Amino acid sequence: MRGLTTPGTRVRLFPNYAEGFVEPEVVELSVPRGMTGPGPSDASMYTVYPLHKPGPYDPPAYLPPYPGPVLPPAVPDRDGHFDHIPVDSDQFRAAHLYGTVRRTLDIWENYLNRHVSWWDVGVVPRLELVTAIDWANAQSGPGFIEMGQKSNRAGRPQLFCLNYDVIAHETGHAILFSQIGVPPADMIGVPFLAFHESFSDLVALIGALHFYSVTVRLLQQTQGNLYVLNLVNRIGEISGTEQIRLADNTTVMADVAGITLAPDGSWIDPLGQNRNQHAIAAPLTGAIFDILVEIYQDGLVARRLIASNYDPRGWTRAQVAASMDRVHHESARAFARFADGFHAALEDARYVVGRCMAHVMLTIRPETLTFGRVAARFLEAAAALGQASIVPALLDHFLWRGIDPRPFLMFVVPPGRRTRADTGRGLPRVRELPNPGPLYAGCDRHGLLAARGHMRHPHRAEP
């Protein structure tokens, strides 16, 4: 990963537990070896495995620290690492939770180019990581990230402390609160809540793509042909990664119109399907995943790994469907010869999208947040990161979803594939002043508690 060069503490993590990743992958964290203590624990977080915790934390009435009995902690080996712990032990579960939270934090501190302090660090200096309790959910909140468990369709218990997607999603919420903050409690609305869910899912997705085993498997399963398979909505079907399945959707804003919050904080769905902020998040998540694939495809063409007559950008879906076998065969042939180039294109696309998301986190204002403003900030960053020539194509992905950033940009970006941004007018700039920063982000505790109250949601067990 870019920026992590100092030898650190080793742990083993499952990229996607019970999805075919039989063995966990060894990951090196940013904390220098010898600086992670029993638990595991470090200067900003500590792990506990409660024996008799009566239930989940419920702020502000019930908060850390947990005072009761706990299982023995995970202990580092003589070299300061945790990659020796047996997978079937309680201590591995604790190390996996800690390692995933720390790994997610490492990745996003790199994209943000700054240290992330928890939003309430002045009150709660260290985050408590609760390994497992008897509760069919998981949550993050002021001073804690907490994991439960849920039975899958076969009736087998699935511990969320072993589920990278769930842990990274909850860590994403904590990072977003620390960087963006919250509006006053009476200004928290649907766009803010849906944005939180979308970006927390994307935090987990980008994090998963930092596992070498995940990228190898994704490219092998698709034979490098992400663009065409995404156009026909088949990456999620083929992929074994939960967050990719979520991101590979065709939902547009018109599909979720009318879902709103009632005065009592409950969700109103005009179709009676009990949809909430997760459903509203889907168009934004899908658009950014489409952009990831667009940038990946552009990287393949720039590397001359795909001939121009096999580049389906600008084709209609009917043309793609008619030529799918031919294009897929060409992609498979090129991937078999130049797999390293395909991996490099995916890594570059992941980096650009991660940096664009970080720019959104650093600049979006919580009190005026809309999907259009999020998209505008995203395009602003993409252009600055060398993607100005394909900004019109990136804009198309937002517009197709019903998300229009153009009213918030300094100049109009013309939609349409195969066009090029008018660099003579400079790079796109967002009209609104950016967020003042993390010091502002921690100012409204009541707003955070109110936002959390609207974010309660069941996590998914594996099949």
Q: What is the pLDDT of residue 57?
A: 95
Phi-psi region of 18 (alpha: psi -120 to 50; beta: other; left: phi over 0): left
Q: Model's pTM, two decimal places?
A: 0.91
What string of pLDDT tens digits covers the 463 residues of the chain? 444 455 899 999 998 754 555 689 999 999 999 999 999 999 999 999 999 899 999 998 999 999 999 999 999 999 999 999 999 999 999 999 999 999 999 999 999 999 999 887 777 889 999 999 999 999 999 999 999 998 766 677 789 999 999 999 999 999 999 999 988 888 889 999 999 999 999 999 999 999 998 899 899 988 998 877 776 555 555 555 666 667 778 899 999 999 999 988 889 999 999 999 999 999 999 999 999 999 999 999 999 999 888 888 877 778 877 888 888 889 999 999 999 999 999 999 999 999 999 999 999 999 999 999 999 999 999 999 999 999 999 999 999 999 999 999 987 666 765 555 444 456 789 999 998 876 655 556 777 777 877 776 666 545 4
Of all helices (H) and strands (E), which one includes residue 202? helix 190-208
Among 192, 30, 41, 56, smallest CA distance to 115 is for: 30
Q: Taking a C-beta distance cutoff of 8 angstroms, is the pair 150, 157 a contact?
A: yes
What's the half-sphere exposure (Cβ side, CA atoms, 13 Å) at 201? Answer: 28
Return residue ranges of the chain for CATH 3.10.170: 8-182
Classify 8-182 by CATH class: alpha beta
Of all helices (H) and strands (E), which one includes residue 345? helix 339-363
Strand order in the sheet with 45-48: 45-48, 127-130, 144-147, 138-141
Enter the DSSP assignment of 39: B
Q: What is the pLDDT of residue 166?
A: 93
